[in-house]
Structure 1
Amino acid sequence: MSDNNTIRMSRVLCDFLVLVLIAIPLLVFHEFVPPYRRGFYCDDETIRYPYRPSTVTRQMLIVVGLLIPIILILATELFRTLAWEKKCEQEFKTYQVRNHSVHRLIVRLYCFIGYFFVGVCFNQLMVDIAKYTIGRQRPHFMDVCRPSVGYASCTEPDKYITDFTCTSQDKKMIHEAQLSFYSGHSAFSFYAAWFTSLYLQARLFRPLFSRLLLPVIQFLLFGGAAYVALTRVSDYKHHWSDVLVGALMGSAIGIFVALYVAEVFKRREIPSCGSPNEFGLIRMDRPDGGSGAPNGNTSTVVSTQHVIVSDIDPANQRLKMKSKDDHGMVHPDQVRPHFIEINHL
């Protein structure tokens, strides 16, 4: 977009082209690149677990992992547009595509959902690079592969076996059995949880009906991610270290994309027409531990200053301060960047 808020279609097409180019290596990995072929010790019990179907399948993870963040982003932007910003329409930018106006809701959805999908591609690309480069066997490798050497009997437990062939006929399962490190399920679920939680924290800048609602949603996101990750261990799909690394990598990418690529906190867009009491001011006590006048003197006049967010630019740095004296008169005061309530004796 240019400085006059005109959206250029060439920029939009370029965005989609970049997204497609990022996705091409994913297709190359899955269709044409064989995983690194590792050997094994025949007495290695960590790869002799039975094969079990996944509690959370790949298809289920993709549908749920993409659908929930998109629904939350859509609901958040709709709520902001129809409820919080209804009285402050004039404070927000208007956008143009050629001779047609575009509502800011469409631009916001394009921005945040687009960045989310870019992060999904980044995350999966890192997963595939690790999987196909390391080629670690899954815990059910022996049950799926049934190698010609070391499966039925283990006469030389200290020998590292590299010359073997899988006797199983299911080539796809044999291929998947060599892609244990690191867990793509864990990485994707924690990426989605971190990106969505940080997005909600930034965009829902004041309490949503209840102060507990947003933390509960964020907790459910991380609880779901943890459940997905733990099932990969209980289903014998990954070693615990694969799941741990996947959770860490997904978290790191989710935080990076949300804070430094999508810049969700710089795009908060807090309007100035909100209620001054919706942020919940925190009272600052006296240094000596008291909260009133010294020596029990209750006749001292106390002046209370309230800080109210009234900025509408993305960084939200401009604050206005109002001061109220003992007569109830309100007058403007200097700017101070503190969300506090200060008592002056």
Structure 2
Amino acid sequence: MSQVLGYCFPRSSSDSQRNPLERRVSRGGGESRTRAFSWKKLVGSYWSDWLFIGGLWVIYLSISRIPGHRREFSLRELSLQHSFAEHELVPRNLLMFVTVGLPLIVMLPIATFVARNAWDVHNAVCGLFMSFTMAGVVTQVIKLMVGRPRPDLIARCQPPADAHDAPVYGLSTWKICTQKDFYILNDGFKSFPSGHSSLSFAGVGFLALYLAGKMHLWDVYGNRNRAWFALSPLLIGAMVAISRTQDNRHHWQDVLIGSVLGMCVATVAYRTYYPHLAHPACHLPMLPRVYDDDMDEEALEVGVRLLNDQQGIPRQSEEEDAWRRA
């Protein structure tokens, strides 16, 4: 089992060759070094992050049912005449499992039993929720401003049998609809971008980056088998995105842009709490932001600090120093 874990989650070769920024939370012989972690440092370092996540969650819930902009449309537009699916292939509860539940099921055991790093547990959870809430708010804001009709808008609208587009301009407005359920009608103008696509890639995209960091996919050696395993969550996100076209909820452009948006947000959220994937210690989380002189040695046991702020003036990263000397 230890050989399998070592193959899937490689680390720096030996203590003597280990990068000076890389330390582990536990040493050989079963001795655990967790004194650098404390709830005081946790709250002092990340209270603003969780406050920001909570604020984003409130905003997301508040604006999700706002009507927003509703574009004019043509009753003769074939791309809007698809049937309305009463039951979606990926309902909201399944979407939440893919976006949040599945990444937690994978990341928490790795951070707890493989990395054995308390900061890694926190950063993985915090980064995942940051990715989810950021993607949700950005997606909903764009939806409200764009107001693009969904492929099943005509079926949602339920226009009168003798309805026709207005003369001169040849377009109709939402006022022609007889739909009594205003949520169904208003939701018909929120096609761009796809929320299922952005949220799923925000979740499984963060998971893929987390696994890629733990497996050191960007090292000089590379490994095909580890790469397939680390990037496999993206296939789940792609299946969720494709299901939105099968349900006639989105055009292909909505799905494509939503997927790219979710992956970009996941990348930003991941880099907030972990070093870049080419870093020698990319399997470790970033160090807590609050520290003092007494915890310098112990703090380095749990993570990576790319910038040293001991003098109050940030210095260049190790990578940039090496590049400038080359």
TM range (shorter): 0.5 to 0.7
Match of 1:183 in 2: 194
How many angstroms apart in 1 are the aligned matches of 2:247 and 2:123?
37
Moved more, 6-15 or 175-184: 6-15
Name the aligned partner's letter for residue 41 of structure 1. Answer: S
How many angstroms apart in 2 are the aligned matches of 1:47 and 1:143?
8
**Superposition deviation, residue 138 in structure 1:** 0.7
**Superposition deviation, residue 164 in structure 1:** 2.7
CA contact (8 A) 1:268 1:315 kept: no
Structure 1 residues 145 and 256, CA gap change in structure 2 (3 angstroms):
same
- 1:71-114 C-alpha deviation (Å, 9 max, x unpaired): 111121133246xxxxxxxxxxxxxxxxxxxxxx3322112210
Asked if 1:61 is matched to 2:95, the reply is yes
Structure 1 residues 251 and 11, CA gap change in structure 2 (3 angstroms):
closer
Match of 2:31 in 1: none
Provide the identity percentage: 22
CA contact (8 A) 2:215 2:283 kept: no
Aligned with 1:164: secondary structure?
Answer: helix
Asked if 1:71 is matched to 2:105, the reply is yes
CA contact (8 A) 2:153 2:189 kept: yes
CA contact (8 A) 1:147 1:165 kept: yes
State the TM-score, normalized to the length of structure 1. Answer: 0.63
**Given the alignment, which residue of 242, 245, 248 partners 1:230?**
242
Structure 1 residues 119 and 184, CA gap change in structure 2 (3 angstroms):
same
**Superposition deviation, residue 245 in structure 1:** 0.8
Larger strand proportion, structure 1 or 2?
1
Aligned with 1:127: secondary structure?
Answer: helix
Name the aligned partner's letter for residue 268 of structure 1. Answer: C
Structure 1 residues 5 and 166, CA gap change in structure 2 (3 angstroms):
same
How many angstroms apart in 1 are the aligned matches of 2:157 and 2:302?
61
**Superposition deviation, residue 250 in structure 1:** 1.1
Asked if 1:44 is matched to 2:56, the reply is no
How many angstroms apart in 2 are the aligned matches of 1:44 and 1:126?
29
Asked if 1:314 is matched to 2:326, the reply is no
**Which protein is bigger by CA-based radius of gyration?**
1
How many angstroms apart in 1 are the aligned matches of 2:201 and 2:188?
23
Higher relative contact order (CA 8 A, sep 6+): 2
- 1:236-284 C-alpha deviation (Å, 9 max, x unpaired): 00011111111111121122222345436466367xxxxxxxxxxxxxx
CA contact (8 A) 1:35 1:132 kept: yes
Moved more, 121-130 or 34-43: 34-43
Asked if 1:194 is matched to 2:205, the reply is yes
How many residues matched? 248
CA contact (8 A) 1:192 1:254 kept: yes
Larger helix proportion, structure 1 or 2?
2
**Given the alignment, which residue of 128, 136, 141 partners 1:124?**
136
How many angstroms apart in 2 are the aligned matches of 1:193 and 1:20?
21
Structure 1 residues 261 and 227, CA gap change in structure 2 (3 angstroms):
same
Structure 1 residues 50 and 269, CA gap change in structure 2 (3 angstroms):
closer
CA contact (8 A) 1:269 1:314 kept: no
Name the aligned partner's letter for residue 194 of structure 1. Answer: G
Name the aligned partner's letter for residue 61 of structure 2. Answer: L
State the TM-score, normalized to the length of structure 2. Answer: 0.67
CA contact (8 A) 2:67 2:187 kept: no
How many angstroms apart in 2 are the aligned matches of 1:163 and 1:139?
15
Structure 1 residues 202 and 219, CA gap change in structure 2 (3 angstroms):
closer
Asked if 1:268 is matched to 2:263, the reply is no
- Mapping of residues 256-295 of structure 1, within 5 Å: 256-263=268-275, 265=277, 268=282
How many angstroms apart in 2 are the aligned matches of 1:263 and 1:184?
28
CA contact (8 A) 1:198 1:264 kept: no
**Superposition deviation, residue 166 in structure 1:** 2.0
